[in-house]
Structure 1
Amino acid sequence: MKLAVVGGGSTYTPELIDGFARLRDELPLTEIALIDPDESRLELISGMARRMLAHAGHPARVVATSSVEEGVSGARAVLFQLRVGGQAARDVDETLPLRCGCVGQETTGAGGLAKALRTVPVVLAIADEVRRSAPGAWIVDFTNPVGIVTRALLDAGHRAIGLCNVAIGFQRRFAAMLGVPPSRVSLGHVGLNHLTWERSVHLDGADVLPSLLSSHLREIADDVGLRPALIERLGAVPSYYLRYFYAHDAVVEEQRAKPSRAAEVAAMEARLLRLYADPSVVTKPALLGERGGAFYSEAAVALIASLLGDRGDVQVVNVRNGDTLPFLDAEAVIEVPATVSAAGAAPLPVAPVEPLYGGLIAHVSAYETLALEAALHGGADRVRDALLAHPLIGQDAVAEELAGLLLEANRTFLPWTVS
């Protein structure tokens, strides 16, 4: 079985390879194609991948190529994990909004819009090549902003499902608090990508969230960066991305006082690449755990195994809304538990969503629709409309200023900005 990874030169990739090696019985791969335009990074990462697989006794061969056509040809699944513009563009996404008093984050707010504008056209072009060279292959999208990118893929008729590691991270943390295997824990996870709440935590079918909040409230609050009193009042656990909404002004002040996360990651990546170049390094470095993407490999393996093996199990993924959340358009992409089989992912029924959450979900979903329009069709007016619609921006003067700054900073990636 062949699997292709678009963005295979990422420093994330050894995390994937580690998962493929450990979970070989779940996903028996014979070939892994790493695809990346940066040939120097690709050489380092593919060499590391080969050493890791050999050390683990895994028989799969690793192919490294800058050609999407060559890499995806014959693949049954293709993972998207690309970053258009690299960490340099991410640094702009995280610092530019601060000039206007807005949160600087690579997937949320103005930074997320900038990333969508750069990313959607590239992803769609690659997906078209997947359709030509690997007809029938599933596309699993880990490329942010996952909700917008997944909707772009689905709207274009691709066999695609979006994946995020937030839910599996919560599942693992709650299981550790309970002292049980993760397989016994399931989540009442609801919302949009990077805008979700855990409204229940089921252990063998019984909701234990109230007892978790009673016994681990401070730990949970610290994990998501919010006040314990807020978590207690909500009776639910917001993802750490909700901190950008619930503590916006405090986050802006924190971000202004320290280097961007992009700068930290760039330095970390330089260290990781030096480790990957060392032929004596044959296992995933501990440093990679600080890079982000925890449990990404487990989530990816489980999803691909279910799609290709028709397992019909339940996983949290990004899928079409349909009538799952009746206050959203059917075409919207939501992040909820779904039954995953060879036919794709079918969302499970969701209990009515409280207005406290539903209002914010609807607001951000409307922004995502406008953001996708801007990414697909360009135009400064569309960019301003998307910014104006975002609950973290929402003011005319701020949207106007941010649009100008954002478009100027991304001219290299947006040919329609050139008059």
Structure 2
Amino acid sequence: MKLTIIGGGSTYTPELIDGFARLREILPLEEVWLVDPSEERRRLVGGMARRMFAAAGHPGTVTATEDLVAGVAGADVVLIQLRIGGQAARHTDETWPHEACCIGQETTGPGGFAKALRTVPVVLRVAETIRQYAKPNAWIVDFTNPVGIVTRALLNEGHRAVGLCNVAIGFQRKFARVLGVDHRDITLGHVGLNHLTWERQVFLNEGGIRRDVLPELLATRLPELAEEVHLPETLLALQGTIPSYYLRYFYAHDEVLREQRDSPTRAEAVMAVEQTLLELYADPSVQTKPEILAQRGGAFYSEAAVDLIASLHGDRRDEQVVNLQNNGILPFLPDDHVIEVPAIIGADGVHALPVPEVEPDLAGTIAHVAGYERLALDAAIHGGRDRVLRAMLAHPLVQQFDRAEKLTDLLLAANADYLPWVR
């Protein structure tokens, strides 16, 4: 099997390589290709990946290239993990919204919108090359944020794509630790859009019996669970759910904004970590994943990626949380919208499991953000200030027209180098 990583020069790539090496029994890779425009990143990350495979006794080869066609030619699976503009662009996404009293974040709110505008056109161009040169039945696995918008762009163009996020697998591992069980005994009643999800059930599978233990967890572990997502205990108790951390940008917006204004950006922290990582990757004696890589983010992504690809190619037909087309699962959304829910994964693709009726308050928030996402994708594909303004106004963290106008102008000024139609 040939697997290609677009954006393979990311300092995060060794996390994936570590997962491929550890879990090679369920995902027998013969070739891994890292596609990246940076010669330095290809040299350092590619060299680190080769040493990791060698140290683990993995028989696969690692090839780093800037040639997209060569990288994807004959590929069975292509992972996309692009960051257009790098951490510098992320830093701007996390700061300019503050001028209009909005949170700055790389996937949510105005900053996430900016990332979508920069990213979608590039991903679609890459996907056309994949369509032309990869195997006819190749899968595209999208890690690139905002995952929901990017995955919908791919699916709308007829690509064989699925989106992946680490929020659900992180919760799965957390609940398994709390309950003292193997993570494979936990499945989730996970529902929403990418980075806008709630855990409505936590199923423990014991001896073939599957029961929802979320009420017990909320009754006995409420303070711990609330601290995990940085939200009030009373909110979790009121909803009877565990919101993802990203709901904090909605439920505690002003508090988060104050914190952001008083602290360095996440991009600045990541840039410092990346510099250390690149220095370690340059050291030929480093053959295993550095501990500091955990500070880079993306916990359990490698396990999620291996599980997903192994099930798609090995027809394991197990249950995993992915981003896929709605197709009636959430009746209050259009069929072609991309949602994040549990699905059965097999050789014939990804098939969403039924979802119990969603509570009105949760459904309202999901529908509101979905409306913004549809307008955001239209703006990313077609451009134009009016499209950007309309999408900005539709976002529930914006809404006021004068604020939307100011944010639109700030976004376009900060991203003119990446949006040809702005110049």
**Shared fold (TM-score, shorter chain, > 0.5):** yes
Cα distance between partner residues in 2 of 1:385 and 1:212:
41
Q: CA deviation at 1:212?
A: 1.1
Secondary structure of the 2:202 match is: strand
Deviations 1:50-95 (A, max 9, x none): 0111000000000000011000111100000110000000000000
1:309 matched residue in structure 2: 314
Cα distance between partner residues in 1 of 2:146 and 2:65:
25
Q: 1:239 aligns with which of 221, 244, 258?
A: 244
1:250 matched residue in structure 2: 255
Secondary structure of the 2:79 match is: strand
Residue type of the alignment partner of 2:162: I
Secondary structure of the 2:14 match is: helix
1:181-196 map, 5 Å = 181-196=182-197
Deviations 1:277-310 (A, max 9, x none): 1111111011011111000000000111111112
1:64 matched residue in structure 2: 64
Cα distance between partner residues in 2 of 1:215 and 1:63:
50
2:40 matched residue in structure 1: 40
Cα distance between partner residues in 2 of 1:215 and 1:18:
35
Cα distance between partner residues in 1 of 2:15 and 2:180:
25
Secondary structure of the 1:98 match is: helix
Task: Tell me the number of residue pairs that the alignment of Structure 1 and Structure 2 aligns.
Answer: 418
1:353 aligned onto 2:358: yes
1:6 matched residue in structure 2: 6
1:94 matched residue in structure 2: 94
Deviations 1:212-237 (A, max 9, x none): 11221111111101011111111110
Cα distance between partner residues in 1 of 2:375 and 2:391:
5
1:268 matched residue in structure 2: 273
Q: 1:221 aligns with which of 210, 223, 226?
A: 226
1:21 matched residue in structure 2: 21
Cα distance between partner residues in 1 of 2:184 and 2:347:
21
1:408 aligned onto 2:413: yes
Deviations 1:189-219 (A, max 9, x none): 0000000000010001110111111221111
2:331 matched residue in structure 1: 326
1:111 matched residue in structure 2: 111
Q: CA deviation at 1:171?
A: 0.1
Residue type of the alignment partner of 1:79: L
2:161 matched residue in structure 1: 160
Cα distance between partner residues in 1 of 2:54 and 2:178:
35
Residue type of the alignment partner of 2:282: A
Deviations 1:245-276 (A, max 9, x none): 00000000000001110111111111111111
1:296 aligned onto 2:301: yes
Cα distance between partner residues in 2 of 1:251 and 1:136:
44
Cα distance between partner residues in 1 of 2:315 and 2:181:
27
2:389 matched residue in structure 1: 384
Residue type of the alignment partner of 2:31: E
1:141 aligned onto 2:177: no
Alpha carbon RMSD of aligned pairs, Å? 0.6
Cα distance between partner residues in 1 of 2:76 and 2:92:
36
Cα distance between partner residues in 2 of 1:287 and 1:238:
28
2:372 matched residue in structure 1: 367
1:397 matched residue in structure 2: 402
Cα distance between partner residues in 1 of 2:22 and 2:92:
37
Q: 1:417 aligns with which of 400, 403, 422?
A: 422
Residue type of the alignment partner of 2:168: A
Secondary structure of the 1:69 match is: helix
1:171 aligned onto 2:172: yes
Residue type of the alignment partner of 1:183: R
Q: Any unmatched runs of 5+ in structure 1?
A: none
Residue type of the alignment partner of 2:240: G
Cα distance between partner residues in 2 of 1:14 and 1:329:
38
TM-score by length of 2: 0.98
2:50 matched residue in structure 1: 50
Secondary structure of the 2:173 match is: helix
Q: CA deviation at 1:127?
A: 0.3
Residue type of the alignment partner of 1:394: Q
Deviations 1:95-153 (A, max 9, x none): 01011100100000000100000000000000000000103210000000000000000
Deviations 1:372-409 (A, max 9, x none): 00000000000000110000001100100010110011
Cα distance between partner residues in 2 of 1:79 and 1:39:
20
Q: CA deviation at 1:341?
A: 1.3
TM-score by length of 1: 0.99
Deviation larger for 344-353 or 213-222: 213-222
Cα distance between partner residues in 1 of 2:201 and 2:329:
17
Residue type of the alignment partner of 1:57: G
Residue type of the alignment partner of 2:367: A
Q: Any unmatched runs of 5+ in structure 2?
A: none
Cα distance between partner residues in 1 of 2:44 and 2:373:
36
1:341 matched residue in structure 2: 346
Residue type of the alignment partner of 1:12: Y
